[in-house]
Chain A
Amino acid sequence: MSENNKGSILKPFRALKFIGEKPVTIRTPFENRPTAPRYRGFHVNDQEKCIGCGTCAEICDNDAIRMIEIPGLEPEVGSSNLRPAIDYGRCCWCALCVDVCTTNSLNMTQEYTHVSEDLNTFFMFPDTEGIHKTDFPLGYQASDDSNFLDLERVEMEELSPEERGDSFIEIVKGYSKEQAIAEASRCVACGLCTDTCPAHMNIPEYIEAIWDDNLSEAGRQIYKTNPLPEVCGRVCTHKCETACSIGQRGEPIAIRWLKRYAMDAIPAEQYGDVNNFRVVKPLGKSVAIVGSGPAGLSAAYYLRLMGYDITIFEKYPEPGGMMRYGIPEYRLPYDALDKDINYIEEVGVEIKCNTTIGKDIPFEDLHRNFDSVLIATGFHVGRSTRVPGTDHKDVFQSIDLLSKITRGEEIQVDEKIVVIGGGNVAMDIARSLARKQKVKYGKVNIIVTSLETRDIMPADDEEIEEATEEGCVFYPGRGPVEIVIEDGKIKGLKTNRCLSVFDEQHRFSPKFDENDIKLLEGTMIVESIGQGPDMSYLDTYTDKIEMDGRRFKVNEFYQTSIEWLFAAGDIIKGPDVINGIAVGHKAALGIDKMLENKKDLFYNTIFDVLDKSLKFEEGCRKSSSKFAGKFSPVVNNMITDLTVKSKDLEERIKKLIQNENVLIHLDKKLKRPQEAGYFERCIAEEALADTTSEKDFLKNMERKTRVAFGLYHDLEKLTKNKELEFLFGYLKAQKKKQLEKVEKLLQK
């Protein structure tokens, strides 16, 4: 920059040098300059890859993405029937949605021009062709440089094969607090797991509670749909993890281990106040439940909450059914099972063990003494392959051996054993016998054969891997033909290669290749190809109940053709614990519907749940104002302050509900239909027992505020619509402050 600022006469002529240069102007629209390859233009969404998990809508800071229900699109495991639509009256093209997309289906093109006077064209549905159906090259795409999701799972420590080889102590050690919070922070709360879980557990809610380190909230959320969390935290077949959206590109969230961490961390005596348990109004009706497996226990727990008197009749000496007598201890320790069952008993369920219906008590008495009966006796009779030689004394059923092991009785353990079967029960008996062999002979020689080939074996993959680690040898894809017996002793099992298990109509009719024969040596055979029910106790009713094939004909609430008789568990719908719990819960609702002839058992829209919360708020005011002026000045002005605050909260809810901005976007449906009974029980809570002592009043107020906090917390999670999300967050914060105030007064 020359300092000489005295102008020279020739200076203006310097401008002549610009004559040769090309003008800088870009002559759009005649001459269009291509945008950069990484340009953030209009959105494109690959409809096949997209699973409708809603994470893009969750992270969008302008609430520009709305999940639209696509009519005619069926939700499956790991994919919902929602797809994102983008409002270009809100979007700021920041591409946070592209970087967080769980399946990388959402990308941006290099297209940027959309001019129109019709505003409806600004609400676009991104599909593969783009907003104007002209194919523009892709612009900003997902890349590993900034991938927002944590795709690796926090490793779970397990006992090494050597350590666990000869003992029945639990293999999985469980998460520490830091591990659990780290694992819980990976969840994007998309809710696909809840749709897949048979019991529709509130998984995102309890995972967020774990992440918030609020374990009592986690317990509350879990117990809303699953009364056996310790069991499910260990042995569930975790279909939810197959549906997890993080699992699309990475490892799914360890939902089962997180549930186990939460429940392990809550001591048994706190279960009561975690669930705010109180039988609000006993109904004076009683229900008999036959069988204390997962279905029976689950139905018992929820019926008890509704106010019924429950008695469970259990054939075996201890409750738990298949969970105790079917699942070995290294997978499900009995203290964990007892922790769940003790709480169910604590809630008021009476369990009568060593009483067999049909023998000690005739089935008819149940009908006479109880208003309704639920049979949940499960599959306790092993099915035999009935190949020649199965009547030999050294051929056993896996069910009988497993229950003997649980009872601690001695069982025959030969040096070489052949197990027939490919399901979880086969794995259990194979690994239990492996442990017995290790203790008895110091080495393991177990052969496991199944019709299904390795990839379609019904057992969990981890089970098969862990069994092979513990010494079991697998011969999958082979069918048993004959048990070879030589001079009274079993020499082995003759097997043929199995070509196909099911025919075209998916019916069970295996085909064998006769000349591919293989003898599997073993002096002891254990059959584990399936179990069946023992329904002899029904005696006169067996022909009265309508059958549907080999099972009872039941309606949506598992009510059989006989009005007062319900059925649940494996005898209706298997195969695992969580299905038992789900069916038990539904049957409980059915019984409640029948006995109390309730009409709407479920709330589907935000309005049903909201006017409940308004009633709750009204009830709180009415009942607490009864006590105004009765106690110390500090408590009195707290009461007046609460009544004013509660009125303000009610006004806020009402004002927003009639607000047409909210109604425009309000997707009436809740994220998931909610059990009406739960909300009714919260409402019934508001009736404060009249008491003269200030301490009891404060105790009661503390419980009621905790219920209100839980109610608004649920509403915040249930509403699909961001316009109301902040409101419930605000209401929750108000209740939290109120809780702190009451607790401070209580300590005084």
Chain B
Amino acid sequence: MDEKMTQRSVWEKIAAKLSKRSLWMLHYCTGCGAIELPPTMTARFDMERFGINPMVTPRQADILLITGYLSVKTLKRVVLTYEQMQAPKYVVGFGSCTINGGMYWNSYATMKSLDRYIPVETYIAGCMPRPEAIIYSFNELIAKIDRGEANSWKDYYNNYDFYRENQEHTFEGPIETYNDIKADAALFRI
């Protein structure tokens, strides 16, 4: 945690204060946990109170919700989506399936631990997590952004080879991605 508390210029602190209040969540239901998103997004639990709203395209989204299990086919699309998203970007893992395979632990088609493929900011326990738990995790995320600690996305650039190798092992072959991650890494001076 400490290396994340790098010296932040005053502009970064202001930027963090402003950006934490207007986060865009990518509207992409990757797994079964997505059924709890409509009550969270709409009037019943209304996450818009915290400035979070669903966004349709990865290009303008900040939060990528992995709602539960990921079949290998979806994992390919999730990796592409994640790489399209603009940094800083935050991945939130829903439920047991993203941690250790959940109830599909012996399935041939689903990945077992999310953090081997993309860096994950926080995990929520539950199968599936309730809307209240999701909103609680959003508040945690906002607080972390405010403290400048939500830097897991840098991890993707720092040891990209680790992620790349796991992805190619699971996809049994390379997948062509649009972004040149190594070049982006230089851009962010990581």
Q: Judge A-B direct contact (beta carbons within 8 Å).
A: yes
Q: A114 near B: Cβ within 8 Å?
A: yes
Docked-complex contact B105 and A62, CB < 8 angstroms? yes
- A contact patch SS: loop
B187 at interface, CB cutoff 8 A:
no
B95 to chain A, nearest CB (A): 9
A29 at the interface (CB under 8 A from B): yes
Given A112-B132, A122-B99, 18 extra CB contacts under 8 A: A25-B49, A26-B44, A26-B132, A28-B131, A28-B135, A33-B132, A64-B96, A89-B99, A91-B127, A92-B127, A113-B125, A114-B125, A114-B126, A115-B125, A116-B122, A116-B123, A117-B152, A122-B96
Mask of B92-129 contacts with A, CB within 8 angstroms, 1/0: 00001001111101100000010100001111111101
Considering the complex, which residues of chain A in the window 105-123 have a beta carbon less than 8 Å from any beta carbon of chain B? 112-117, 119, 122
Taking a contact as CB atoms under 8 Å apart, the answer to whether B103 and A115 are in contact is no
Q: Could you tell me if A62 and B102 are in contact, using CB atoms closer than 8 angstroms?
A: yes
Please report which residues of chain A, range 80-101, place their CB below 8 angstroms from some CB of chain B when the two chains form the complex: 87-93
Pick from A32, A61, A90, A115: contact of B100, CB under 8 Å? A90
In the assembled complex, 28 residue pairs joining A and B whose CB atoms fall closer than 8 Å, in A order, are: A23-B43, A25-B43, A25-B44, A27-B49, A29-B132, A29-B135, A32-B132, A33-B132, A42-B125, A62-B102, A63-B105, A63-B106, A88-B99, A89-B101, A90-B102, A90-B105, A92-B103, A93-B126, A93-B127, A112-B129, A113-B130, A114-B133, A115-B122, A115-B124, A116-B122, A117-B152, A122-B123, A122-B125
B99 A25 Cβ-Cβ under 8 A: no
- Chain B min CB distance to A613 (Å): 23
How many residues in A have their beta carbons less than 8 Å from beta carbons of B? Answer: 29
In the complex, residue of chain A having the shortest beta-carbon distance to the beta carbon of B122: A117
Query: For residue A24, which residues in chain B have a CB less than 8 angstroms away from its CB?
Result: 43-44
Q: How far is the CB of A133 from chain B (nearest CB, A)?
A: 16
- Closest A residue to B140 by beta carbon equals A115
B127: chain A residues at CB < 8 Å are 91-93
| Contact between chains at A90 and B96 (CB < 8 Å) | yes
**Across the interface, do A119 and B123 meet the contact criterion of CB distance under 8 Å?**
yes
Q: Chain A's nearest CB lies how many Å from the CB of B24?
A: 20
Residues from chain A with a CB closer than 8 A to the CB of B120 are 117
**Chain A to chain B: the 9 pairs with minimum beta-carbon distance, closest first:** A89-B100, A89-B99, A114-B125, A92-B103, A115-B137, A28-B132, A92-B127, A62-B103, A113-B133
Verify if B74 is at the interface (C-beta below 8 Å from A): no
Instruction: Kindly identify, within residues 621 to 656 of chain A, every residue whose CB is under 8 Å from any CB belonging to chain B.
Output: none
Q: Is the CB of A117 within 8 A of B123?
A: yes
Which residues from chain A contact B122 at a C-beta distance below 8 Å? 115-117
The closest CB in chain B to the CB of A63 belongs to: B105
Q: Are A115 and B133 in contact, with the CB atoms below 8 A?
A: yes
CB neighbours (8 Å) of A112 from chain B are: 125-126, 129-130, 132-133
Q: Name which residue of chain A comes closest to B135, CB basis.
A: A28
B99 touches which of A33, A115, A119 (Cβ 8 Å): A119
Residues of chain A with a CB closer than 8 A to B136's CB = 28-29, 113, 115
B100: chain A residues at CB < 8 Å are 87, 89-90, 122
Closest to A32 in B: B132
Please report the C-alpha to C-alpha distance between residue A28 and residue B113 in the assembled complex, in whole angstroms. 29
A92 cross-chain contacts in B, Cβ below 8 A: 96, 102-103, 127
B28 located at the interface, meaning its Cβ lies under 8 Å from any Cβ of chain A in the complex = no
- How far apart sit A675 and B135, CA to CA, in the bound complex (Å)? 57
Contact between A25 and B46 (Cβ–Cβ < 8 Å)?
yes
Question: Is B158 part of the contact surface with A, judged by Cβ < 8 Å?
Answer: no
Q: Does A88 lie within 8 Å of B96, measured CB to CB?
A: yes
- Cβ-defined contact, B44 with A29, below 8 A: no
Contact of B132 among A61, A113, A119 (CB under 8 A): A113
Residues of B within 8 A of A28 (CB): 45, 131-132, 135-136
The reply to whether B101 and A29 form a contact with Cβ atoms under 8 Å apart is: no
Q: Is B177 located at the chain interface by the 8 A CB criterion? A: no
Q: Which residues of A contact B99 (CB under 8 A)?
A: 88-90, 119, 122
Complex Cα distance A42/B121, Å? 22
Q: Report how far A29 CA is from B113 CA in the complex, Å.
A: 29
Q: How far, in whole Å, are A167 and B126 apart by their CA atoms in the complex?
A: 66
A27 to B50, CA, bound (A): 11
Q: From residue A54, how far is it (CB to closest CB) to chain B in Å?
A: 19
Q: Which residues of A contact B140 (CB under 8 A)?
A: 115
User: Which residues from chain A contact B102 at a C-beta distance below 8 Å?
Assistant: 62, 89-90, 92
Q: Which residues of B contact A (CB under 8 A)?
A: 43-46, 49, 96, 99-103, 105-106, 113, 115, 120-127, 129-133, 135-137, 139-140, 152
Which residues of chain B come closer than 8 Å to A122, judged between CB atoms?
96, 99-100, 123, 125
- Scoring A29, A93, A115 by chain B CB atoms within 10 A of each residue's CB, the highest score goes to A115
Chain A residues within an 8 Å CB radius of B135: 28-29
Q: How far is the CB of A141 from chain B (nearest CB, A)?
A: 19
Are B123 and A115 within 8 A (Cβ)? yes
Find the residue from B99, B100, B115, B130 having the highest chain A CB count within 10 A. B100
**Least Cβ distance of B139 to chain A in Å?**
6
When distances are taken between beta carbons in the complex, the residues of chain B under 8 Å from A89 are 96, 99-102, 113
Q: Which residues of A contact B43 (CB under 8 A)?
A: 23-25
Q: Evaluate whether A114 and B124 lie within 8 angstroms (CB atoms) in the complex, with A62-B103, A88-B99, A92-B103 already known.
A: yes
Nearest CB of A to B142, in Å: 12
Task: Tell me the complex Cα distance, A58–B146, Å.
Answer: 45
The distance from the CB of B13 to the nearest CB of chain A, in whole angstroms, is 22
For A118-148 the 0/1 string (1 means CB < 8 A from B) is: 0100100000000000000000000000000
A29-B139, A115-B137 known; A90-B101 Cβ under 8 A: yes
User: A114's closest neighbor in chain B, by CB?
Assistant: B125
- For the complex formed, measure the closest distance between the CB of A33 and the CB atoms of chain B, giving whole angstroms: 7
Given the complex, which residues of A lie within 8 Å of B44, measured CB to CB?
A: 24-26
**Within 8 Å CB of B126, what residues of A?**
93, 112, 114
Task: Provide the bound-state CA to CA distance between A26 and B46, in Å.
Answer: 8
CB atoms of A91 and B96 under 8 A apart: yes
Chain A residues in 8 Å Cβ range of B113: 89
Residues of A close to B46: CB separation below 8 A: 25
B interface footprint on A493-510 (CB within 8 Å = 1, 0 otherwise): 000000000000000000
* B105 contacts across to A, CB distance below 8 A: 62-63, 90
Q: List, in ascending order, chain B residues with CB within 8 A of A33's CB.
A: 132
Residues of B within 8 A of A93 (CB): 126-127
Question: Within A18-45, which residues are at the interface with B (CB < 8 Å)?
Answer: 23-29, 32-33, 42
Are B125 and A26 touching (Cβ within 8 A)? no
List the B residue with the shortest CB-CB distance to A722: B106
Q: How far is the CA of A42 from the CA of B120 in the complex (A)?
A: 23
Interchain CA distance A61-B96 in the complex, whole Å: 14
Q: How far is the CB of B165 from chain A (nearest CB, A)?
A: 16
Nearest chain B residue, comparing its CB with the CB of A661: B112
**Which A residues lie within 8 Å of B45 (CB)?**
25-26, 28
Which residue of A has the minimal Cβ distance to B136? A113
- In the complex, what distance in Å separates the CA atom of A298 from the CA atom of B137? 65
Cross-chain contact B115 with A61 (CB below 8 angstroms): no
Q: Which residues of B contact A62 (CB under 8 A)?
A: 96, 102-103, 105
Chain A residues positioned under 8 Å from B96 (CB to CB): 62, 64, 88-92, 122
Quick one: which of B125, B130, B132, B137 contacts A88, CB cutoff 8 A? B125
- Name B46's closest neighbour in chain A (CB-CB): A25
Residues of A within 8 A of B133 (CB): 112-115
Which residues of B have CB within 8 Å of A23? 43
CB distance from B20 to the nearest CB of A (A): 16
Q: Smallest Cβ distance from A415 to chain B, in angstroms?
A: 74
Q: Which residues of B contact A29 (CB under 8 A)?
A: 132, 135-136, 139
Cα A90 to Cα B136 with chains together (Å): 22
Chain A residues 153 to 187 lying within 8 A of chain B, measured CB to CB, are: none
List residues of chain A with CB within 8 A of the CB of B123.
115-117, 119, 122
The smallest C-beta distance from A57 to any residue of chain B, in angstroms, reads: 14
Cβ A119 vs Cβ B124 within 8 A: no
**Min C-beta distance of A139 to chain B, whole Å:** 13
| Closest-CB distance, B108 to chain A (whole angstroms) | 14
Inter-chain CA distance A89–B97, complex, in Å, is 6
> Cα distance A62–B126 when bound, in Å?
14
